[in-house]
Amino acid sequence: MPPAIIVHATPADLKQIAELTLAHYDAGADSFWEGTRSHDVSQNIDALLRHITGAPPFAILDFGCGPGRDLKTFAGLGHAPVGLEGSARFAELARNYSGCEVWEQDFLALDLPDGRFDGVFANASLFHVPTQELPRVLLELRAALKPGGVLFSSNPHGHNEEGWNRGRYGAYHDHDAWRAIVAAAGFVELTHYFRPPGLPRAQQPWLATVWRKPAA
């Protein structure tokens, strides 16, 4: 069944969305890590890095870094990644595994520096932001990017439904709706693709998109 739709979430609704979703991840953090640590997201990492202009190393914000798999990859490639994670257990795992700095922040209450990052890597994370809050969160991510910086996002796509699904809150946009939301936040779309590669569309649950913050 599709998740129940929550329309016009109140501040109390948003607080519950954040708390229960993070509690879900905290409770299952170790099993989640064992189940995802070997996932190959090199296609997504390459999609971000090849669109960043300028000379490396790049300052990268891994938004929703989880237990730190991709943080360690970025660091191993010689870049300067910082993780951001709402789950306390994930943040602890990420620091220990990657050796990188990890900021523990709720996606709905961000405190980001302006103009610091060459790229934001939001792999399987922004779909947890309720649709009504996405414009604000995307503007905050845009402000954290340098002029010309790049946002990568990969989310499970759907038919623009959202709500509770197996203990987590998620919003499942189709490409047209997602494109309109991100473009309205001032980003320019560079490319998009569906994952995993090489499968029929019906077997590709992930929509990946790459965006640029205009240089001026």
Q: Are 205 and 156 in contact (CB under 8 A)?
A: yes
Q: Is 66 helix (H, G, I), strand (E, B) or coil?
A: coil
One digit per residue, the tens of pLDDT, for the chain of length 216 reads: 334 455 688 999 999 999 999 999 999 998 888 878 778 899 999 999 999 999 999 999 999 999 999 999 999 999 999 999 999 999 999 999 999 999 999 999 999 999 999 999 999 999 999 999 999 999 999 999 999 999 999 999 999 999 999 899 999 999 999 999 999 999 999 999 999 998 998 899 999 999 999 997
Strand boundaries in the chain, DSSP class E = 59-63, 80-85, 102-104, 117-123, 145-156, 161-165, 168-172, 188-195, 206-212
Q: Are 110 and 140 in contact (CB under 8 A)?
A: yes
pTM of this structure: 0.94
Quote the CA–CA distance of 83 and 97 in Å, as a whole number: 12
Domains of the chain: 11-212 (3.40.50.150)
Residues with Cβ < 8 Å from 135, sequence gap 6 or more? 181, 184, 185
Tokens standing for residue 72: 């360690």
List Cα–Cα distances, 149 to 22, 74, 152, in angstroms: 29, 16, 10
